[in-house]
Amino acid sequence: MSNPTPQPSFSARGAVDLSALNRPQSPPPGEPGGAPAAGGYVLEVTEDNFPQLVQDSATYPVVVLLWIPTDQANAELGTTLGRLADEYAGRFLLGRVDAQQHPQIAAAFRVEGVPTVVAVLQGQPLPLFAGAAPEEQVRAVLDQVLAAAEQNGVTGRAPAQRADGAAAEAPEAPAEPELPPLHQEAYDAIEQGDYDAAIAAYTKALKQDPKDAMASAGLAQVRLLERTRDTDLQAVRAAAAAAPTDVEAQLAVADADMLGGKVPDAFDRLLELLPNLDAEGKEQVRVRLVEYFEVVGVTDPRVIKARQRLALYLY
């Protein structure tokens, strides 16, 4: 996906199949056994706030669930999406449209049945899937949406919502501790997109103090950002699929997975590649995995498990 138009391209034509009304029912949202109530990063969409939702999609990704809240299958998907919206903590806003109560909004998305899930980026609707889906599949689709959003500069964070749909007041954040000078220099460089300067600052900090864990982690993170700056996700994944034993191709797609938060996928890809490589290839993979361990955090359980597998394969 590239360069979505800034103006919404919705249509008011079409009708929504409401046959879900005849299926097993669920309690309304917020009641025991039903989907969770709105709030957090979940917004109930109405004719009043729909235009603002479309406008906000230029700042942060919006995922829209068109549903009938009291249908059991719809409610289950709504529960899954709501849980993931909270987990992703503002990386996207989940908007829920009751297709029975707001048929004009549902028709604007040209959906033919519920539940249907659509993303909106920079005012442009992007159909995702229709019908029920397992959480693993939903998570994978959301990660693709976030990757597409990042490629198109839609990187803002959605504000938390109150149950009444208004933005919740953010708690006053504690004062940030002052960073050491070289760390602040690196941070400022990252903010400006100057990754070379950030790498230089972190490298200098490590020369001054080789045990500086924060500098080590920062260096690994900015190197990942630099490597993936101009990554074409589709091209990278296609190259990796076409050359499953090519070290550079697998390192590139592992970088993409790390950047997208797919930490186990990145670890597994490289660890499964490792045993069949020559000494040079093994060293390339080892170095990259050690960087990933710094990015994720050396005390993370996923890192501890991956480090054990790495030691087993190498020694």
3-state SS, one letter per residue, for 174-203: CCCCCCCHHHHHHHHHHHCCCHHHHHHHHH
Strand partners, 129: 117
Q: Say which residue, 179 or 105, is predicted with more confidence.
A: 105
pTM of the full structure? 0.51
* CA gap 140, 113 in Å, rounded: 22
CATH number of 19-151: 3.40.30.10
Question: Is residue 286 scored above 50 in pLDDT?
Answer: yes
Report pLDDT digits (tens) over 211-248: 998 899 999 999 999 999 888 989 999 999 999 999 99
* CA gap 278, 282 in Å, rounded: 6
Question: Is residue 31 scored above 70 in pLDDT?
Answer: yes
Q: Tell me the domain boundaries of the chain.
A: 19-151, 181-314
Cβ atoms within 10 Å of 311's Cβ, excluding its own: 9
Mean pLDDT for 126-144 is 94
Phi, psi torsion values for 271, nearest 5 degrees: -70, -35
Residue 299 has a pLDDT of: 85
Residue 112 has a pLDDT of: 81
CATH entry, 181-314, from 1.20.1530, 3.40.50, 1.25.40, 1.10.8: 1.25.40
The pLDDT-based confidence of 26 (bands split at 50, 70, 90) is confident
